[in-house]
Amino acid sequence: MSDEKIPHQNQDIIYKYMYMAEFFRNETLEYYGLKLPRITNVKPTELPIIHLSDRKMDYVFELEDGSLLHIEFQTTNKLADLPRFLIHDSALYLKEKRKIHTAVIYSGNIHKADKSIDIGSIENGARHSLIHL
């Protein structure tokens, strides 16, 4: 047997999947102040890279207070729109490190659309102003 050591990153992976998965199953994290439902399963933490087929936002304006205004013009109201706006705003935030306001201007026969999506960890979700032309 060689004296080679397991690289630290590999130790982390082994620890994560073999020990922590079973340790936290059916438990809560109230000890840490997290008042959430019990853990039922441990999910993989490696995330796919998200590639947008439409990477361009319609308009981005810099506002007087230093924040940014992201405007989208929509002729449809699809379930996938809000997550797409959230991805755009996340990418814009990573680039600019500024507060982002999003306004979606709907045209056509769209008179009602969801203004936000609650994904839990992002408190305000993809909240945007709804404007109808």
Instruction: Note whether 42 and 63 are same-domain residues.
Output: no
Asked whether residue 5 is assigned to any structural domain, the reply reads yes
Q: What is the pLDDT of residues 72-123, one digit of tens each?
A: 888 888 878 888 888 888 888 889 998 988 888 888 887 777 777 777 766 5
Instruction: Note whether 74 and 34 are same-domain residues.
Output: no
Instruction: Note whether 112 and 71 are same-domain residues.
Output: yes
Domain range for residue 23?
1-46
Domain count, the chain: 2
Burial of 22 from C-beta contacts in 10 A (0-12 / 13-18 / 19+)? exposed
CA distances from 133 to 7, 60, 104, 119 (A): 59, 19, 11, 29
Instruction: Note whether 126 and 76 are same-domain residues.
Output: yes
Asked whether residue 85 is assigned to any structural domain, the reply reads yes
Asked whether residue 51 is assigned to any structural domain, the reply reads no
DSSP state of 69: E
Angle at 95 between CA 48 and CA 75, to 5 degrees: 75
Q: What is the pLDDT of residues 18-48, one digit of tens each?
A: 666 677 767 776 776 777 777 776 666 665 6
Helices and strands (DSSP H and E) totals, the chain? 3, 4
Instruction: Note whether 63 and 126 are same-domain residues.
Output: yes
